[in-house]
């Protein structure tokens, strides 16, 4: 299925907002990435910017929308597959943009900034609550999360995106990251896990 739009939710886990010194949002913070930012993991080397300051990792559950979303649709009506992804951020660039009151696109939309694993069947929200997802860098667990800790659940996210932008077949939604974000460096070996199951890996260049 061809990707049409990539939408992302910022600060959807309270501890992540706190670790960056950000206020807890009262409604979902929405932003987007260009489709050129998307790259699938297959064990390959992924090139990241080297001259724009720190590139931070943010592991997230990614929803794939498989039909046009209408008002009142439930998550299970419009999502058949999920994946794990990394929303990468040029943190130094983002800090400057925030100080100036400018959009985040330069910090969030660069090539390879939307890393995603292969998708698998979505078994429903309740089943996802039983499994933690994690990001492992060079053998160490750096981030670990569970959707039970989201401030805005999948339904709220889908409703908000559909109302603000419209949602259709092929759209992806990055649903927010737990605490533990930090920089990636050249040579880092990165693995994304769903429970104990490896879903994707890559090496940073």
What digits encode the pLDDT tens for the residues 107-152? 999 999 999 999 999 999 999 999 999 999 999 999 999 999 999 9
d(CA 204, CA 194): 21
**Every domain of the chain and the residues it spans:** 6-204
**Beta carbons of 76 and 190 less than 8 angstroms apart:** no
**69-84: average pLDDT:** 96
Residue of 125, 137, 130 lying closest to 189 (CA atoms): 137
Place 25 in a pLDDT band, splitting at 50, 70 and 90: confident
Looking at residue 11, what DSSP letter applies?
Answer: S
Residue 72 has pLDDT above 70, yes or no: yes
- pLDDT reported for residue 6: 98
d(CA 6, CA 32): 6
Query: Which tokens in the block code for residue 14?
Result: 């309270």
- pLDDT reported for residue 1: 82
Mean pLDDT check: name the lowest of 11-20, 40-49, 154-163. 11-20
Query: How many CB atoms within 10 Å of residue 99?
Result: 8
- pLDDT reported for residue 143: 97
The model's pTM is 0.95
**92, β-bridge pairs:** none
Domain 6-204 coded CATH 3.20.20.120 = no
- pLDDT reported for residue 26: 82
Residue 171 has pLDDT above 70, yes or no: yes
Query: Which tokens in the block code for residue 172?
Result: 């992806």
- How far apart are the two ends of the chain, measured CA to CA in Å? 28
**65-71: average pLDDT:** 95
- In tens, the pLDDT along 79-111 reads 999 999 999 999 999 999 989 999 999 999 999
Residue 22 has pLDDT above 70, yes or no: no
Residue 134 phi, psi (nearest 5): -150, 155
- In tens, the pLDDT along 176-188 reads 999 999 999 999 9
CA 191 to chain centre: 15
Place 19 in a pLDDT band, splitting at 50, 70 and 90: low
């Amino acid at each position: 299925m061809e990707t049409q739009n990539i939408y992302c939710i910022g600060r959807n886990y309270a501890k992540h907002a706190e670790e960056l010194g950000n206020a807890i949002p009262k409604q979902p913070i929405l932003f987007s990435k260009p489709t050129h930012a998307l790259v699938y993991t297959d064990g390959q080397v992924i090139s990241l910017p080297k001259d724009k300051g720190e590139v931070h990792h943010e592991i997230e559950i990614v929803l794939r929308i498989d039909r046009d979303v209408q008002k009142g649709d439930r998550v299970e009506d419009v999502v058949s597959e999920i994946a794990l992804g990394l929303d990468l951020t040029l943190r130094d660039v983002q800090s400057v943009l925030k100080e100036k009151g400018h959009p985040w696109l330069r910090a969030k939309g660069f090539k390879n900034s939307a890393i995603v694993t292969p998708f698998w069947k979505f078994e429903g929200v309740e089943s996802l609550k039983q499994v933690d997802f994690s990001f492992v860098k060079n053998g160490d667990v750096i981030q670990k999360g569970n959707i039970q800790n989201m401030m805005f659940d999948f339904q709220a996210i889908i409703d908000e995106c559909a109302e603000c932008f419209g949602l259709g077949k092929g759209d992806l939604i990055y649903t927010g990251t737990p605490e533990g974000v930090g920089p990636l460096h050249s040579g880092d070996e990165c693995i994304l896990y769903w429970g104990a199951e490896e879903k994707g890996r890559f090496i940073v260049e």
